């Protein structure tokens, strides 16, 4: 319970102020616990952000891979996953920002980074399949993957600013169309 409050508060503050810019005292205060309690659950500030990073990456990966069985084509599956990602991102704006901000951060340990990345390997495989069967443009998988990721981030950012559900959906669809259009062979 307290542990969860600390994690949730840390997420908000790290996103707003950065890692070094967020005193642990502020985290515990905002979480409504004492300084001691924070360090009871997390031995160091680094362990706190590592835990946070790992949890969020895992949660994102799970949200990504929900119900894709209906789509037959590789492109369909990819679009489905990307739509999942966008939907999750819109509903979890802080977590998305956090992931982007700390994706290359020296404050997150190498181990946490590796574990975080491992949950997304299945997407790389999927893109490989697409290239092999000829439906995806045959370019460097890393490049494709990287552009996909950053574009999804851009779509989420834009869509989040739009309150009207209809228009928001249009932004998402347009954005995904744009990326898929670029990817297709």
CB of 3 to DNA, least distance (A): 7
Find the binder of its own copies among 12, 24, 51, 105 (CB under 8 A). Answer: 105
Distance of CA 143 to the CA centre of its chain: 18
The item of DNA, its own copies, none sharing an interface with residue 45, based on CB under 5 to 8 Å by kind, is: DNA
Which among 42-50, 72-80, 114-122, 151-159 is the span making contact with its own copies, rule CB under 8 A? Answer: 151-159
Per-residue interface string for the shown chain with DNA, residues 17-36, x marking contact by CB under 7 A:
---x-xxxxx------xxxx
Helices (H), 18-139: 24-31, 35-41, 45-64, 74-91, 93-102, 110-118, 121-133
**Which is nearer to its own copies, 66 or 138 (by Cβ)?**
138
**SS3 labels along 14-32:** HHHHCCCCCCHHHHHHHHC
- Classified as helix, coil or strand, 109 is coil
Q: Is 144 in the site for its own copies (CB under 8 A)?
A: yes
Measured CA distances, 183 to 59, 75, 103, 105, 131 (Å)? 27, 9, 24, 29, 10
CB proximity list for 153: less than 8 A, separation 6 or greater: 89, 96, 100
Find the binder of DNA among 7, 45, 113, 131 (CB under 7 A). Answer: 45
Which residues of this protein are in contact with DNA, per CB under 7 A? 1-3, 20, 22-26, 33-41, 43-46
Which residues of this protein are in contact with its own copies, per CB under 8 A? 16-21, 105-107, 137, 139-140, 142-144, 146-147, 149-151, 153-155, 157-158, 171, 174-175, 177-183
């Amino acid at each position: 319970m307290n542990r969860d409050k600390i994690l949730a508060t840390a997420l908000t503050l790290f996103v707003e102020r950065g890692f070094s810019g967020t005193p642990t005292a502020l985290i515990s205060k905002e979480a409504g616990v004492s300084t001691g309690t924070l360090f009871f659950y997390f031995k160091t500030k680094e362990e706190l952000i590592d835990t946070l990073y790992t949890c969020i990456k895992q949660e994102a990966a799970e949200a990504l891979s929900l119900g894709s069985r209906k789509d037959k084509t590789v492109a369909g599956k990819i679009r489905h996953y990307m739509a999942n990602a966008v939907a999750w991102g819109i509903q979890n704006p802080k977590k998305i920002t956090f992931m982007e901000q700390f994706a290359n951060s020296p404050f997150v340990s190498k181990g946490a980074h590796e574990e975080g990345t491992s949950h997304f390997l299945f997407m790389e495989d999927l893109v490989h399949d697409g290239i092999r069967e000829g439906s995806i443009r045959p370019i460097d998988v890393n490049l494709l993957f990287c552009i996909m990721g950053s574009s999804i981030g851009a779509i989420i950012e834009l869509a989040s600013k739009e309150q009207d559900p209809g228009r928001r959906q249009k932004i998402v669809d347009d954005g995904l169309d744009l990326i898929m259009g670029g990817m297709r062979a």
